[in-house]
Chains A and B, each alone.
Chain A
Amino acid sequence: GESVGLHLPTLSVQEGDNSIINCAYSNSASDYFIWYKQESGKGPQFIIDIRSNMDKRQGQRVTVLLNKTVKHLSLQIAATQPGDSAVYFCAERASGNTPLVFGKGTRLSVIA
């Protein structure tokens, strides 16, 4: 399959444990943030998003936390499963019709 990101930061977690993936963003004008999951050989898949007027948003097994003071975004995955193994990207966008700016990504490896 496709190999994406040979030199990415890596996070290894035991199956069933919770995972926390962190992201620092640079643009204080960004008002919209998204997490994507990219599996080998596939394009990025939307996971969850959050607007700058919120500090927490929950989805199915995932939670995104936003700390605008320190420009930090995190993705928490509960009860991590082998199918969660992938590269995770955060992306930010300023207001208006501005393009998404992706972070470098983190490779999550789940140990069965």
Chain B
Amino acid sequence: QVQLQESGPGLVKPSETLSLTCTVSGGSIGTYYWSWIRQPPGKGLEWIGYIYYSGSTNYSPSLKSRVTISLDTSKNQFSLKLSSVTAADTAMYYCARTISGYCQFDYWGQGTLVTVSS
């Protein structure tokens, strides 16, 4: 059974960089896409971007200038960096395995809440 677990600071200061890691267990990170999705408190879901096991990436146009997603196959992990954060970036951040056919997210982490505040 594939499991994903997000980790990283729960509090980030405005203008700084948010950094999260997703650790994948129960399966290899190879041959799949891996996504980050976020959800502001009380609001809907927003896709941030994904990375393929080869290292190729695709980001949301609205976040592209601030987002970097990277992969560490030796650790079965992938990571998110979001720069120049503001209060609008406060959200629950989820990582998810992504199936290439229809980009469906079939396994999700439990999510980690990141608050942007000084």
A binds B: no
